[in-house]
Amino acid sequence: MPIMSIEDFSFTYASAQARSLNTINLPIMKNSITALIGPSGCGKSTLLRSLNRIHDLYPGNEYEGKLMLLNEGTGEMENILDIKKENEFISLRQRVGMIFQKPTPFPMSIFDNVAYGLRIAGIKNKTELADRVEIALKGSALFGEVSDRLNKSAMGLSGGQQQRLCIARAVALKPELLLFDEPTSALDPISTAAIEELIVELKKDVSIAIVTHNMQQASRISDYTAFMYLGDLIEYDETEKIFLNPKEKRTEDYITGRFG
């Protein structure tokens, strides 16, 4: 069952002469990991960042089609492109969190980093805040490493720890969908393995879409894979089928390293 259904979706940047995404149709399945792969400039990150309307932070970008997000309460799909009000955007980005390529901790304590979104969401009770922060840090496999310095600056953490902190910050809000934009590209192999293990663990509670240039990473951790090229969705299927028996020659050529 999809947590999100991308339907006839196109996107054009304000400064562009042509579309960056062309009529994309793609499900993001519930409690699964969907990998978006393809060469640089093919539209992977543009698509990912559309899924919580982050492009709206910059005026003039144009959406067409539908981005249907499952409402867990009603069981119905709702088009997030209909969102217009500021409070609706805040709610959307609590439901659809995002982790970027470079770790983005706030210049504040480890505790306050995780509590930041919770306070915006209206949680003021100190005991509840402390409990939610601890649960999120444990969920991101970080609590054991930082439990004795929660009031110290997050800027003193290593790159891998900072990325797990950013994941904890997003997870604290109990999102339905988490978007990862090349979350390990700036990390060493040990940190990369830890993040991959964490992402696989997280899919028990949250649906995941991940952009990656790393073919091995996509094959290791994802359940479904979408191959994109020049703003088009070329092929989508279960990851095993995409990597072992792709239907499209362009998919096979990319996966086998003939281009990209």
User: What is the DSSP annotation of 219-232?
Assistant: HHH-SEEEEEETTE
Burial of 96 (0-12, 13-18, 19+ CB in 10 A): buried
Classify the phi-psi angles of 170: left when phi > 0, otherwise alpha if psi is within -120 to 50, otherwise beta.
Answer: alpha
Report the interhelical angle of 189-202 vs 159-171 (nearest 10°). Answer: 10
Burial of 19 (0-12, 13-18, 19+ CB in 10 A): middle
Between CA 225 and CA 166 the distance in angstroms is: 24
* Averaged pLDDT, 186-208: 93
Q: What is the pLDDT of residues 212-237, one digit of tens each?
A: 999 999 999 999 999 999 999 999 99
Report the interhelical angle of 126-139 vs 159-171 (nearest 10°). Answer: 130
What is the SS3 assignment for 2? strand
pLDDT the model gives residue 72: 84
Classify the phi-psi angles of 90: left when phi > 0, otherwise alpha if psi is within -120 to 50, otherwise beta.
Answer: alpha
pLDDT the model gives residue 70: 96
pLDDT the model gives residue 186: 85
CB 182 within 8 A of CB 48: no
In this model, does residue 203 exceed pLDDT 90?
A: yes
Q: Give Cα separations from 218 to 36, 39, 129, 237, 258 (angstroms).
A: 8, 14, 35, 13, 18
The overall average pLDDT reported for the chain is 94
Closest to 195 (Cα-Cα) out of 171, 226, 227, 225:
171
Q: Residues 257, 179, 81, CA angle at the centre, nearest 5°? A: 115
Q: Which residue has the tokens 């990390």?
A: 187
List the beta strands (DSSP E) in 94-217: 96-99, 177-181, 207-211
pLDDT the model gives residue 130: 95
